Structure 1
Amino acid sequence: MSEPKLDVPTELRELAEKTIEQAERAFQMFFDAAGKSMSSVPGPAADISKQALSLTEQNMKTAFEHARKLVHATELEEAMRIQSEFLRSQFTNAGEHMREITTRMMNVTKKPTQDPS
C-alpha cells in the first residue's frame, strides 16, 4: 500500500512560504523593539525579562522552521514525523527554559538587598 500524498498546489505552498516569511519578519521587529525597551529598565527583574524574551524568540524561530518543513512535506507520514519531532523538541526545550528561568530567579532572590542609606 502506498503512502498517502499531500497533494497541495505549488502556488499554495509558495503562498504559505511567503506568509511564514512575513510573519517571521514581523515577529523579529517586535523582538527587536521589545529588546531595546527592556535595555532601558535596570535591575534583576529586567535580566529575567530579557532572558524570557530571548527564550520566546528562540521558540518562535523554531516554530517558523517547523512551519517551513511542514509546507514542503509531500507525504502524510513525513508531515506526522515532522510534527512529532517538533512536539518532542518543544517539550524538551520548555523543561530547559523553566530550569534556566528558575535558576536565574533563585539567584536574584539570594542576592542581598542594598541599603539605600
Structure 2
Amino acid sequence: MIEPKLEVPNELRDLAEKTIDQAEKAFTLFFDAASKSMAAVPGAGTEISKQALSFTEQNLKSAFEHARKLVHATDLQEAMRIQSEFLRSQFTSAGEHMRNITGEVMSAAKDLTKSKS
C-alpha cells in the first residue's frame, strides 16, 4: 500500500515554522526572566525549583524541535515515526528528570534532618 503524500503548501509550512520560532523566542524570554527571579530569591527549595525549570525548558525545546520536524513530514508514515521517536525520548527524559528531582528532594530532606539534630 502506497502512503499518500501530505500536500501542504510551502507557504503554510513557512508560516508554521515562523510561528514555532516566535513561540520559542517568547518562551526563551520567559525562562530567562524566571531564572533571574529565582536567583534573586534564594530559599530552601531554590535548587529544586531551578532544576524543575531547567527540565521544563529542555522539554519545551524538544517540543519545538519536534514541531519543526513534523512541519516537514512528507507522508503519514514519516509523521508517525517522528511522533513515536518524540514520545520515546520524552518518556526517557521524564524518567531521568524524576530520578534527578527525587535525588535532590532526598538530599534536601537529609540536610534538613541533620540540621535539626
For normalisation by structure 2, the TM-score amounts to 0.94
Once the two structures are overlaid, the 10-residue window that deviates more, 38-47 or 66-75, is 38-47
Question: 1: distance between equivalents of 2:34 and 2:116?
Answer: 28
Q: Percent identity?
A: 71
For structure 2, the residue ranges without an aligned partner over 5 or more in a row are none
Following superposition, the deviation at residue 2 of structure 1 comes to 1.9
Q: Which residue of 1 aligns with 2:7?
A: 7
Following superposition, the deviation at residue 75 of structure 1 comes to 1.0
Q: Which residue of 1 aligns with 2:115?
A: 113
Question: 1: distance between equivalents of 2:109 and 2:45?
Answer: 10
Q: Which residue of 2 aligns with 1:93?
A: 93
Letter in 2 for 1:113: S
* The structure with more helix, counted as a fraction of residues: 2
For structure 1, the residue ranges without an aligned partner over 5 or more in a row are none
Q: Which residue of 2 aligns with 1:72?
A: 72
Structure 1 residue ranges, 4+ long, deviating more than 2 angstroms after superposition: 112-115
RMSD: 1.3
